[in-house]
Amino acid sequence: MDMPTMWLGALEYLSQRRPMRWIAFGFRELANFLIPTSCAVCSRADFRLCPECRSEIQRQLFLPPLPDGQHHYVELPLLAQQLPVSSCGIYGKELARSMLAFKNKQRYFLGAVFAPYLAAAINSSCIPQPGQLETYIVPVPSSLKATGKRGYSPVSSMLARGMRRGLYSADLAIKPVLHYRVRSILAGAQKLKSGSARRSGKEHFIAEQADTPGRPVILVDDVLTTGSTLRQAAMACHEAGYNVTLGIVLALTKPPNHESEQ
């Protein structure tokens, strides 16, 4: 065993000892005193995420097998196909508030809470390919404006956390092949485009050419609302030579008249 590995092992062992946990608790309490913090969901003092809200988020997120109500299909009219999409949870309550805090209030640490659920859904959906061909996990990119405001891309951040923790199987690789078209960046908001342009699925994104024709791809986004974003992402990947097998999202937005199952 080399020295770096030995030291890392020793540090990991020490970090699990009760005295070290007491010291960590003391540092947390001191930090809360010097720099007051509050729960990202309910604003309870002295917790980044209080135990009650953490428990509720975990209750509202699911590990595979995912419930039937969390599977959806996005129409791809130009291909006469449907893109199956699975979600880890239903967008609402504590889950919705924590996702908004993660995306819009710089509560970056919440990515570590979401990452395992996203990774589990992706792993369970990956179909082994002949010749040990890797399946690419492709994050749907945030706009340049949103990324500049946040300082990070929420989807890419969750995927990267999962990869660093070794949560993905060996036949999966994260590849950010999707990008915004230059004219889409210059044109401004999506709502300013014509209806035909929005429906075409080709105006918003462009994908890097596939290194292997038919390379399987799993598209990943944070929330599925109308399906427009995933539709455009799927079309861009298809035109670049990829085989888009499915989409995975952290949460699915139900129609307003849908009764919550949570």
The arithmetic mean of pLDDT across residues 229-237, rounded, is 96
3-state secondary structure of 7: helix
**pLDDT tens-digit map of 78-125:** 999 999 999 999 999 999 999 999 999 989 999 999 999 999 999 999
Reported as a pLDDT band with limits 50, 70 and 90, residue 184 is low
Reported as a pLDDT band with limits 50, 70 and 90, residue 190 is very low
Is pLDDT larger for residue 186 or for residue 139? Answer: 139
Residue 35 pLDDT exceeds 70 = no
> What phi-psi label fits residue 190: left (phi over 0), alpha (psi between -120 and 50 degrees) or beta?
alpha
Q: Which of 31-45, 177-191, 198-212, 230-244 has the highest mean pLDDT?
A: 230-244
Is pLDDT larger for residue 155 or for residue 35? Answer: 155
pTM for this predicted structure? 0.80
Average pLDDT, the chain: 84
**The pair of three-digit structure tokens given for residue 219, joined into one six-digit string:** 């598209």
Q: Which residues pair with 221 in a beta bridge?
A: 249
What is the CATH number assigned to the segment(s) 51-252? Answer: 3.40.50
Reported as a pLDDT band with limits 50, 70 and 90, residue 252 is very high
Give dist(CA 191, CA 201) in Å, integer.
14
Q: How far is CA 197 from the centre of its chain?
A: 27
Reported as a pLDDT band with limits 50, 70 and 90, residue 145 is confident
Q: How do the domains of the chain map onto residue ranges?
A: 1-36, 51-252
The arithmetic mean of pLDDT across residues 150-156, rounded, is 92
